[in-house]
Structure 1
């Protein structure tokens, strides 16, 4: 069964461009993964420094044990303390009806 991740980011104003560039590299690389389904990055229309990432994968265990450790994510993860105002908020959801 697939699993969805909702990840909220509050980006520092002066880091918006870097945030988007680093995340775009990760999102593009993720598309090649066998357990990847989709990902969409949303911007809050009232706050251009607030983002919501919606990712869908086929296997939660693969995400936590393999995907988050991929080399293409290293620069992204290392930069997060500089990019964000605070911690990301991550929620995990499972489909009930499609």
Structure 2
């Protein structure tokens, strides 16, 4: 079966005053992801109009690997446990599959 690449777009809205805790929970996950074989890229941005909103793009070369392996990695546990207290509302995750790539 051919591998299917995928991009996850994750929107986070944190509670005011929680940025340091949010970054302390998320940054180690982003650092660890770089070493995964199916990892392609990630980017974290902040909403210019709302300092408590963040958007994460994660691109992976193998969607099955993400679903069956990557989401279960132990390095994600601390972040997942902390999010309930950090987030103002549940994170929103959308899944994007490529149609065209120029570059």
Structure possessing the higher radius of gyration over alpha carbons: 2
2:37 alignment partner, SS class: coil
Alignment of 1:1-98 (within 5 A): 1-98=4-101
The one-character-per-residue Cα deviations of 1:56-80 (angstroms, maximum 9, x if unpaired) are: 0011111111101111111001111
TM-aligned CA deviation for residue 14 of structure 1: 2.0
Q: Distance in 1 between matches of 2:52 and 2:32?
A: 23
Q: CA RMSD in A?
A: 0.8
Q: Given the two structures, how large is their TM-score scaled by the length of structure 1?
A: 0.96
Unaligned runs of 5+ in 2: none
Whichever structure has more helix as a proportion of its residues is 1
TM-score normalised by length of structure 2: 0.92
State the aligned residue count.
Answer: 98
Q: Structure 1: where are the runs of 5+ without partners?
A: none
